[in-house]
Amino acid sequence: MLGLIVITVGLGPWVWPLPAKLIDLGARNAGPGWAHPLGTDQLGRDLLAQLLAGGRVSLAVAGAAMIVSISLGTALGVLSGMFRWLDGPLMRLTDLFLALPVLPLLLITVALFRAPLSAALGPETGIFILIVLAIGATSWMSTARILRGEVRALMARDFIRAARSTGTRNGAMITRHVLPNIIGALTVSATLGVASAILMESALSFLGLGFPPDMATWGRLLLDGTAHLGNHPGRALWPGALITATALAVTWLGDGYRDQNDPRHHAR
């Protein structure tokens, strides 16, 4: 299901060549038909084309935010697990971020830096970078805590002690021995991070603090469709269904990978 969504969205212009921003006032609020399989919005823009274009933006935000989140979480988790003198300060920092209300913090961050970044980098690029950094900087905590536990258990293994006894430097220890042995937990955290980033971006767009109104994302389409639920429910149901399906597919993929690499699963 995830592969179908990603391939369809990625090949959007070839799947449905109609431009997402094409305005046709004569076809405003049209229902599903041959010309517009999912109907049109209040400006006559094709809903299918907007869903495909919005999916590319939403998935790009989710992937970039996941990279930021995983990078921060991996760095803090590995350092905390390997060096006991860093464990206390880094875990207290993690607890501090866990105690913060994420959505209000995101709203404040976007509201404060939206105008400066839009003026400096343009409305689309500036807001893209802002949303990616805001989501990534507020979603690394679970990764750090999981990897910290994995690394602490790993440091007690015999091959780590043998590597230390031969004078292996910390950098080489991390790249040769630590990271290859926590790749399973890292992959699971990455998949869950994608699902979380998709939901956060959709929430920001739904609250009107995401991308500009003329730039389609699934969250923005969901916001626009809620005003027409009575007459055209599909305008809200389709983007909502794609958000839900993508988040579920990514979560199930992470759960399946975790079960596949869990020795207790094989024992059962």
C-alpha angle with apex 245: 244 to 248, nearest 5 degrees?
Answer: 85
pLDDT of residue 79: 92
Query: 1 lies in a domain?
Result: no
Burial of 46 (0-12, 13-18, 19+ CB in 10 A): buried
Q: pLDDT at residue 265 above 70?
A: no
- Establish if 140 belongs to a structural domain: yes
Instruction: Over range 3-24, report the average pLDDT.
Output: 87
Read off the pLDDT of residues 179-226 as tens digits, 9 standing for 90 and up: 888 888 888 888 888 888 888 888 888 777 777 777 888 888 888 888
- Percent with pLDDT over 90 in the chain: 21
Residues 134, 67 contacting (CB under 8 angstroms): no
Q: How many residues in the chain?
A: 268
- Residue 263 has a pLDDT of 53
Closest-CA residue to 146 (of 93, 81, 92): 81
User: Looking at the predicted structure, is the pLDDT value of residue 264 above 80?
Assistant: no
Q: Is 147 a member of any domain?
A: yes
pLDDT digits 0-9 by tens, 106-151: 888 888 888 888 888 888 888 899 999 999 998 899 899 989 988 9
Give domain status of residue 149, yes or no: yes
* Rounded CA separation 203/34 (Å): 32
The pLDDT of residue 233 = 87
Burial zone of 119 (CB within 10 Å; 0-12 exposed, 13-18 middle, 19+ buried): exposed
* Number of domains forming the structure of the chain: 1
Q: 62-120 pLDDT, tens per residue?
A: 899 999 999 999 999 999 998 888 889 999 999 998 888 888 888 888 888 888 888 88
Asked if residue 224 belongs to a domain, the reply is: yes
pLDDT per position as a tens digit, 27-59: 888 888 888 888 888 888 899 999 999 999 989
In a domain, 240, yes or no: yes
Residue 204 lies in a domain: yes
What local confidence, expressed as pLDDT, does residue 261 receive?
A: 66
List the domain range (segments joined by +) for residue 200: 45-261
62 within domain boundaries: yes
pTM of the model: 0.86
Q: What is the CATH number of the domain that holds 67?
A: 1.10.3720.10
- What average pLDDT score do residues 140-168 get? 87
- Torsional class of 18: left (φ above 0), alpha (ψ -120 to 50), beta (otherwise): beta
